[in-house]
Amino acid sequence: MVPVIAETMQHDVFISYSSKDKPAADAACNVLERNGIRCWIAPRDIVGGKSWAEAIVAAIKSSKVLLLVFSKQSNKSQQVAREVERAISAGIPVIPFRIEDVVPSESMEYYLSTPHWLNAFPPPMEQHFEQLTLTVKNLLGEPVGGGPSIRPDPPEGADPSIWKRPGLLWGLGGLAVAGALTVAAIVSVPALRPAVCDMAAQNAETDATRVNAFRYIAAESSDPAANIRDWTRPEDNLWVERSPKSVAYFRTVGRVHVGRCDGTVVSKEEEPKLELLISDKDCEARKLMFRRRPSCDWNFLPPMEQVE
């Protein structure tokens, strides 16, 4: 009896990459599979007789995580962009594994403003594979064993205190791994911090970019005055939102980069899971965004006005 070969192999991770980055993609695949994580990677796993496009679409749909080997080559690849878009549309988590220090192109930034970011530089790349394996296992819901939690080093220009917190590794949906850290790693940090899925701010806040006050209109209605929200920053780490009927206080969480802008994340004192992103003055879009943790996804609010 001839065995029946499945059209799409059973796998956990779809690896998206530019053909020029094949050595890096193959290396990541080998490490993950040695750790018991099943991967799908082209052209290795394309079944004979099936078109390339059909195989790619079927493999993405069957995956639980998409690993993007992110570089200057994949950043401008239309094929890679389509694969990422397909995963996002299907609700599949995307992990960009940056093998080069590259800012997402306009065609990529729409999809990559909120997922996990893992850096595979500086070289050698091999030293970053353990963090990649831990992150994938977290998303798959697999145990990662005892020992210390491992988190990525803060990117250049990021505040290290935002990224280091004893015993926690945050991931998509608020996944966390408990672990033990040495006393030297324990630092004083805010109660909350941006999730690993946030990209660190590319620049430190300066007098030219610092926002001290702004206004936005919460919603359109017959009485716009009732929806005015005036924000002021009386202290470095404190924001006050005033409306005609209430006053709310927000504390600074950290700095992140979303789309093409840097900004400051703040959380509501009475409801810490509610976070807002206040874009810097030099952000042309003047974005104001919000999310409710453990979600990593930012949602747009009306634009910031009267920015000071």
219-261 pLDDT, tens digit per residue, is: 655 666 778 889 999 988 899 999 888 899 999 988 888 877 8
Residue 137 makes CB contacts below 8 A (sequence gap 6+) with 35, 37, 143, 144
Residue 9 confidence (pLDDT): 60
**Nearest partner of 174 among 273, 37, 275, judged by Cα:** 273
Provide the residue type at 205 as one letter: E
Residue 113 confidence (pLDDT): 59
CATH for the stretch 13-145:
3.40.50.10140
Please state which of the ranges 93-107, 218-232, 242-256, 280-294 shows the lowest mean pLDDT.
Answer: 218-232
The residue ranges of every structural domain in the chain are 13-145, 213-300
The sign of the CA dihedral 81, 87, 88, 93 is negative
The mean pLDDT of the chain is 75
Q: Average pLDDT for residues 292-306, to the nearest whole number?
A: 80
Query: Does residue 254 contact residue 265 with C-beta atoms inside 8 Å?
Result: yes
Provide the residue type at 100 as one letter: E
